[in-house]
Every structure is written in C-alpha cells, then in structure tokens.
Amino acid sequence: MEPILEVRNLSISFTQYGRGTRQVLLPVIRDLSLAVAPGQVVAVVGSSGSGKSLLAHGILGILPYNSHMAGEISFLGQPLTPRRAAAVRGKEIVLVPQGVTYLDPLMKVGPQLRKGRRDQSARTASRAVLERYGLGADTEERYPFELSGGMARRVLIATAAAETPRLVIVDEPTPGLDARAARRVLGHFRELADGGAGVLLITHDLELALTIAHRVAVFYAGETVEEADAADFAAGRLRHPYTRALWDALPQNGFIPISGAQPGPGEVGEGCPFASRCPKGRPECMGPVAYRELDGGLVRCLYPEGGEQP
C-alpha cells in the first residue's frame, strides 16, 4: 500500500544570533525518516523540547522565517512542495495542536469550526462533529476560555475532523489529562485511522503511544534512532540501545535510570548521539552510522540488539 506520508532524511536548522552579530546555525532535527500508511497510527516518541514539534510544522510548511529545511517529504506519492503544502493544509493534512492557545480567544467555538461559513450545511456539519466527540450544542456558543482542558482538546480534534483529512498530525495530545481522559482522546485518533486516514502522533509519552500506535519511531537528539512495530516493545524485540533504555525506565519495567542527559542542538558530533551514554558504545560509534533495516524495523546503530555485526 502506498504510504500517505513519507519523510526521508529530513533536517531542520535555525539561524540564530550568537554573541554580537555573529550568526550561528543550530541543527535541531538532523536526520528524520518515517512513513505513514493509510489506516495507520505512527507515533514519533522523543523527549519534550527535543524539537519534534518542528516535524509537524515542517510538513505543514509553517516553519518560521529563520529556519532551513532539507530532505524529502512526499504526500500521496507526490513531493510536498511549499506551494502544495499551503494548498492541502487545513483540508487534506490537518494539525491537532498542543493546546487551547491555538484557538482564537475572541471567537466562539462554533464559528471557528465553520471557518467563517454561515450556511445551513456548515451549521449542521459543525453540530454533528461536536456531537461525535461528546460535546453539547451549547459548546458552539462558548469562548475558548470557557472550556475545560479536556473539552478544549476535543474541540481541537473536532476542528481537525470537520474536514475529511487524509493525514492527521497530532502534537502532544495528552498532557494535563488524567489517564481515563487521555485514553478517550487517543481513542478518537484511532477512530480517524480506522476511517482510512493516516495519523502521525507526536508525543513524549511512550506508554500512551503504545496503547494506540501501530508503528513507533523513536527520536533522540535530532535523529530517528529506531522504527519498530508497537508489538515489538512488549515482545522485547527492540533494536536500539536507547529504545531499550527508555523501555527499562518505565516504572512498571524496572524504573532503571541510565546516567547523563540528552545532548542539545549543536552539541552533537558526526557519530551516534547516544554513544556517550550507551552501555555498548565503542570508538567506531563516533563515526557515521547509517539508518538501516533490521528484522521488520529500522535502526541507526552499529551493534543493535538482535542483529548480526555489519
């Protein structure tokens, strides 16, 4: 099946001013690859502040002016050029953003859902989409500040589902929700996928991602280090030592911390960014490491678990 979205070797960097007028190039995403098929939920899991939200903005073509993007993005088999991104965003590609701050604070929910249209069919459609997410008709008459956290999240999903998107990009959907509300919200994304759309879920929460995702891409210090089936986690079929460390750090799996911290943008050399914390790190890990297929998944490691030596 042809993937809805395919991202190959994406990099995003920012030009910033250092001391005085000297410009510094800050690479935030260095090498990110993934694919989303129809009906599939693909999660990108990485720690907060690691720059994974930029992936969403890069696909939509809404990065700020001081950024540079390189690599290939194709949508439905065609390259996603800036012009094409502008044409499909909000229609075929929709974003469910992180928080209520993405809603217009001065506009009631109803008109925001209808995007300015006032005809009867738009009204019927907005009513229907609110109902689908368990929101009453009175929600249309509310301003964003009158919504609770969970309601706001559902309104954001409703704005996305009001169109018939092919690709839904979801950015950190669960912070601030309790476990039951979070599961319900994630269930809505699974429904969108079951309807045939591709869902790209960007999150820091591995555990919640595993509850709905089919595939999981693990993002570390600007790179995707592993892509695996969600089932590989519980089965212990993990490839990259970082993924293993993440899994072992779950409270129910041993709660084992490894030492050190993730390097920030600009602090990474040419080699594997995890090498300094890796139990299997060797001198040759400081050289280039290719992203390659292994056992039904992808891994960027010279000495992956369960893999023969290269």
Partner 1 sequence: MSLEAKQLTFGYRRKGKEPVLDHIDLTLEPGERLGLLGPSGRGKTTLCKLLAGYEKPDSGTVLVDGKPLKEYRGICPVQMIWQHPETAVDPLMKLGDTLKEGGPVEEGLLEALHIQPAWLERYPTELSGGELQRFCIARALRPGVRYLLCDEVSAMLDLITQAQIWTFLLDQAEKRSLGLVIVSHNSPLMEKLCTRMQTLA
**Residue 182 touches partner 1, criterion: CB under 8 A:** yes
Q: Is 15 in the site for partner 1 (CB under 8 A)?
A: no
Q: Which one, 248 or 295, has the nearer CB to partner 1? A: 248
Stretch that binds partner 1, among 77-85, 117-125, 194-202, 258-266 (CB under 8 A): 258-266
Among 3, 46, 165, 173, interactor with partner 1 by CB under 8 A:
46
**Sequence-ordered list of residues with C-beta below 8 angstroms from that of 79, at least 6 positions apart, any chain:** 72, 73
Q: Which of residues 82-111 bind partner 1 (CB under 8 A)?
A: none
Question: Of 7-15, 43-51, 119-127, 134-142, which segment contacts partner 1 by CB under 8 A?
Answer: 43-51
180 lies in the site for partner 1, by CB under 8 A: yes
Strands 41-45 and 198-203: parallel
- 71 vs 99, which CB is nearer to partner 1? 99
Residue 122 backbone dihedrals phi, psi, to 5 degrees = -65, -40
Question: Which residues in the 156-175 window bind partner 1 by CB under 8 A?
Answer: 175
HSE, side-chain direction, 13 A CA sphere, residue 250: 15
Amino acid identity, position 52:
K
Which residue shows structure tokens 């990485």?
A: 46
CB of 89 to partner 1, least distance (A): 27
Total of chain residues touching partner 1, rule CB under 8 A: 34
Contact segment (CB under 8 A) with partner 1 among 24-32, 72-80, 106-114, 246-254 equals: 246-254
Alpha-carbon span 265 to 276, nearest angstrom: 16
Supply φ then ψ for residue 46, to 5 degrees: -160, 165
CB of 111 to partner 1, least distance (A): 27
Alpha-carbon distance 170 to 187, whole Å? 13
Q: How far is CA 258 from CA 50, 242, 248, 249, in A?
A: 18, 10, 9, 8
Say whether residue 234 binds partner 1 (CB under 8 A).
Answer: no
Binding site for partner 1 (CB under 8 A): 46-50, 148-150, 175-182, 204, 206-207, 245-246, 249-252, 255-262, 264
